[in-house]
Chain A
Amino acid sequence: MALEDTGTGLILLEPVAEEETEVHPLALRVSEINGKRIGFLDNSKERADEILEVIEDLLTERFEFTEVVRRRKRYYTKSAPPELIEELAERCELVVTAVGG
């Protein structure tokens, strides 16, 4: 294959995907914790459950929650299924997730 002679050198094509990155704003923070419904999402990796137990104990010592929802992902290597995210969004004002390992 002949080399290209452009006079100024070689013209090459960039190998990277040229994506426009979508910007997702953070969810609104709550100003009051008492009286809220809280969820705990365990990503199912080793010791995520232990971290969440400690956090749940610490939070429930200091605050009152009207409901506690505990869920565990099937695969820690995949995003949570949309139905699980929807359920937590529906049932809770606050969700704490932990990544084990």
Chain B
Amino acid sequence: MQTVALRSRRIEATDHLEAVELFFSRGWTDGLPIVPPTEERVEAMLQALDRDPGEIVGILAPRYGKATLEKIAINAVMAGCQPAHFPVVVVAIEAIADDEFNLNGVQSTTHVAAPLLIINGPVRHALEINAGANCFGQGFRANATIGRAVRLCMINIGGGVPGVTDKATFGHPGKYTYCVAENEEASPWEPLHVERDFRPDQSTVTVFAAEAPHNVSDHTSRSARGVLTTVADTMATMGNNNMYKRGEMGVVIGPEHAATIAAEGWSKQDVKAFLFQEARRPLGDLTRGGEYYGEVTWEKYWPRWIDRNDPSALIPVVDNPEDFLVIVAGGSAGRFSLVIPGWGDHGTRAVTKVIPFQDSNECRDGTCKA
């Protein structure tokens, strides 16, 4: 086990409770108590990857702070992560730092958006990342602490301070933690990472700048068309960014709904095509309010092929069926799905990165290697 000198400034506290209060007073938390990052704990976190702690994983806006492995490890300790979670946190940071994601905008926007982490592949089982019952809720350490570690990095390395640099009017509860796994076993379709050109046996994290999930209840429909009509209707509303400002939209199909849809032989592409066709609003509705802004809306956002002189022309909620990010997740009981509107086309796209993870028992005690 190699010990490398850690370079961060040191700070002293008499005991753990004082350390927690000290971190609150410095503005280094998300509002919840943290686990004090001692050298020993940070070193244990770093050993999960066996790389130079000074290695820069990404630059985090708006402060443009260097996300070194050491700084990420400190924040992961604070979040309550186990060393085994660390590789996932590191890759999530790499993903939000990617230019495609536009972290500067996501951090500083007045919109509610927060990075949603979607985990695919074998790492879900090894780390017990919940994809089943209550997967967007409380109760699972991996989901809770991996998402929280990413947020703490956004605060402490990226400089996202509410009301100062993080200008969110509201934010949403997912800004504490927003991490879910796809329930690949309950899905009749290829998982998200395979759609995005990764192998099924690879593990990935996909980051997507997103609103909080909006529930879709449909306990009545018994057909693919019926279930997805309810999903589509939930999507095409005047208050979300997608309707006027495009970009990507998340769709989480619950296992019961997925089974109903797949029983009719529908593929994931069929699901997306149907949603693209049905999640629309007439132009005459959309110009009554919302974010309609005349020429700018036409020039920057809405498709050229819409007849702007026809109030009955239907505007789709995204530009392309592939702009729906569709996963299956949730518990086995309940005929629900979720719609997760995105931040819109503000120069952001969902980004997927591979997690260096070998599917072996070795990883369970936090010693998996890249």
List residues of A whose CB falls within 8 A of some B CB: 1-4, 6, 8-19, 44, 46, 49, 74-79, 101
Contact B156 A17 (CB under 8 A): yes
Min CB distance B349 to A, Å, is 12
9 CB < 8 A contacts A-B: A2-B40, A9-B15, A11-B10, A15-B28, A17-B60, A17-B71, A17-B156, A18-B9, A78-B104
Best-surrounded residue of A6, A8, A12, A74 (most CB of chain B within 10 A): A12
* Consensus secondary structure, chain A interface: loop
Query: Lowest 8 A-B CB distances belong to which pairs?
Result: A17-B65, A77-B105, A75-B347, A77-B346, A9-B14, A15-B156, A13-B8, A14-B9
| Alpha-carbon distance between A2 and B38 when the two chains are bound, in angstroms | 10
Interface SS, B side: mixed
For B348, the closest partner residue in chain A by CB is A77
| Total chain B interface residues with beta-carbon distance under 8 A | 50
**7 other contacts beyond A1-B40, A6-B12, A15-B78, with CB at 8 A cut-off?**
A9-B12, A9-B13, A9-B15, A10-B16, A15-B8, A46-B291, A49-B296
Minimum Cβ distance to chain A for residue B224 (Å): 36
Q: Check if A44 sits within 8 Å of B300, measured CB to CB.
A: yes
Which partner residue on chain A sits nearest B67 by CB separation? A17
What sequence of 0s and 1s flags, for each residue 12-46 of chain B, a beta carbon within 8 Å of any chain A beta carbon? 11111011001100001000000011111110100
A18 to B18 CA separation, bound complex (whole angstroms): 23
Q: Which residues of chain B are near A19, meaning CB under 8 Å?
A: 63-66
User: CB-nearest residue of chain A relative to B37?
Assistant: A13
Bound Cα distance from A75 to B99, whole angstroms: 14
Neighbouring B residues of A9 by C-beta, 8 Å: 12-15, 18
Given the complex, which residues of B lie within 8 Å of A2, measured CB to CB?
Answer: 40
Q: Does B157 contact A (CB under 8 A)?
A: yes
- From B13, B19, B156, B346, A75 is in contact (CB under 8 Å) with B346
On whether the beta carbons of A74 and B347 are closer than 8 Å, the reply is yes
A contact residues around B159 at 8 Å (CB):
17
**How far apart are the CA atoms of A92 and B8 in the complex, in Å?**
45
Q: A15 to B38, alpha carbons, bound, how many Å?
A: 11
